[in-house]
Chains A and B, each alone.
Chain A
Amino acid sequence: MARAAVLGRLNWLLAELVELVPETPRVKSLVLAAPGWPGHRPGQHVDVRLTAEDGYQAQRSYSIATPPDGERVVLTVERLEDGEVSPFLVDELLVGDRIELRGPIGGYFVWDGADRAPLHLVAGGSGIVPLMAMLRHRAGLGSAGPAALVYSARTEGELIYREELDRLAADDGALRIAYTLTRERPPGWTGYDRRIDPGMLGEVLGGADPNATAFVCGPTRFVEVAADALVGLGYEPGRVRTERFGPSGR
Chain B
Amino acid sequence: MDHVTRGFRGRRDTERSDRIPPGQYETRDFPVLSAGPTPHTPLETWTFTISEGGEERARWTWDEFQALPSETITKDIHCVTKWSKLDTAWEGVSVDTLLDGIETDAAYVMAWSDGGYTTNLPLEDVTDGKAWVAHGYDDEPLDPEHGGPARLLVPHLYFWKSAKWVRGLRLMEEDEPGFWESLGYHLYGDPWREQRYWGD
Chain A residues within 8 Å of B, Cβ to Cβ: 6-10, 12, 14, 47, 49-53, 55-61, 84, 88, 92-94, 97-100, 105-109, 220, 224, 227-228, 230-231, 237-238, 240-242, 244-249
Q: Which of B19-37 contact A (CB under 8 A)?
A: 22-25, 27-37
Are A107 and B183 within 8 A (Cβ)?
yes
Answer whether A246 and B30 are a contact pair too, CB < 8 Å, given A9-B200, A50-B10, A220-B145.
yes
Are B33 and A244 within 8 A (Cβ)?
yes
Are B197 and A105 within 8 A (Cβ)?
yes
Number of interface residues of B (CB under 8 A): 45
Are A242 and B34 within 8 A (Cβ)?
yes
Answer whether A247 and B29 are a contact pair too, CB < 8 Å, given A61-B82, A109-B35, A240-B36.
yes
Residue pairs across A and B with Cβ atoms less than 8 A apart, 15 shown, are: A6-B197, A9-B200, A10-B198, A10-B200, A51-B1, A51-B5, A58-B25, A61-B81, A108-B180, A227-B37, A228-B38, A237-B39, A238-B36, A238-B115, A244-B34
Contact of B116 with A by CB under 8 A: yes
* Contact residues in B for A92 (Cβ distance below 8 Å): 7-8
Chain B residues within 8 Å of A, Cβ to Cβ: 1-12, 22-25, 27-39, 81-83, 115-116, 145, 179-180, 182-184, 196-200
CA distance A25 to B38 in the complex (A): 33
CA distance A242 to B183 in the complex (A): 15
CA distance A94 to B37 in the complex (A): 39
| Contact with A249, one of B9, B31, B36 (Cβ below 8 angstroms) | B31
Are A238 and B116 within 8 A (Cβ)?
yes
* Contact residues in B for A107 (Cβ distance below 8 Å): 182-184
Given contacts A52-B8, A99-B5, A227-B37, 16 further A-B contacts (CB under 8 A): A9-B197, A9-B200, A10-B199, A51-B3, A52-B4, A52-B10, A59-B23, A97-B5, A98-B3, A99-B3, A100-B5, A106-B184, A228-B37, A240-B36, A246-B32, A247-B31
Are B200 and A84 within 8 A (Cβ)?
no
CA distance A99 to B4 in the complex (A): 8
Are A6 and B30 within 8 A (Cβ)?
no
Answer whether A240 and B8 are a contact pair too, CB < 8 Å, given A9-B200, A84-B25.
no
